[in-house]
Structure 1
Amino acid sequence: MNNCTSQHFTLGNDYLNIYGIDINNHKDRYFTIGENKRQKFAFPTERREITVIRQVKNVNKEKFVSDQLIEAQISPELTLEMKEELVEISFQYRETFAYENEPLGAIKGHEVDIMLNVERPYPPLLRGPAYQAGPRVREALENRIN
């Protein structure tokens, strides 16, 4: 399989585990094979279609596209002109979706802290019985288990 191109790889978890293939979903998609984790093979992604728009000479717009829109999923049904118009509108109104120092969709101050307490004293929902069933159902369960 030298220099082959492929649109999709569909591999099951068993295959991935047996042959030691790791697929990491970072900004750049790549995979490693076997024990050698240093040698990485890159997957080309279709999301890089936006790079066509980088021909625009506006440096701020280029930076906006490369930093914030590189992972955007734009419908493949749109024409190139429609995609360019969408990027232009996104660039023009970029402050609507994010602040100057924060990327799109990552506005600070909207985080929620969720405290998970699994240590004593247990929260009320964890204190209850494993099966909230009536005595007849519990008896039937115990008979099935034994």
Structure 2
Amino acid sequence: MTSIGTIIKEIIIPHRKGNIRLNPEFVVLGDAHIQGFLLGTDYQRMYDIDLYNKLLNEFRDGQLSTTLTSKQKLSLMKIPRKNRPAFAIGEEPLGNIRVHYIELYVDVEIPYSPMLRRPPYPESLETRREIYKHINDLLDMDGIRKIGHNEIVEITTPVLITCNDGKYRLCGDFRALNNYTKAERYPIPKIHHA
């Protein structure tokens, strides 16, 4: 087989989780009679395609701007892969961004008032199991962390809410904390603070 040139052709690989659009460069062989095409390992690695034409990590480029060049689209799609811990993926619905902190200013001093130090609500054995399951899932996803033996957290009680589809949702009861939290009157920073 002799090579007679190359051609760049846009192809779309269909997949149940979203189509993959590629602009690969093909080598044209003079005396080849091949019905399909061979995709190089560089493209397979770049787009996370395995040999069975499956998409290993779900992504879609259908919402990218049409004015972007293919090189710009390629560099844009590399961002989620470089910062993989910050993005949510299928089995782990939480991203892990650790740069955003919220400061609350509470009107009361430690030790907190009895309203804030409320004991957990009574729950059935099934509800308790479901709460522990949700808490363990959040621990596995790094959504929460265990507190140390010297830390005291007395201002929340876990509550299990039943959704319409029969699933449970774990919430924290912060109603008492909201009553004691000072309202932020000036959310925009003052000029001399900036």
Taking structure 2 as the reference length, the TM-score comes to 0.25
Taking structure 1 as the reference length, the TM-score comes to 0.31
Larger fraction in helix = 1
- Bigger radius of gyration among the two: 2
Larger fraction in strand = 2
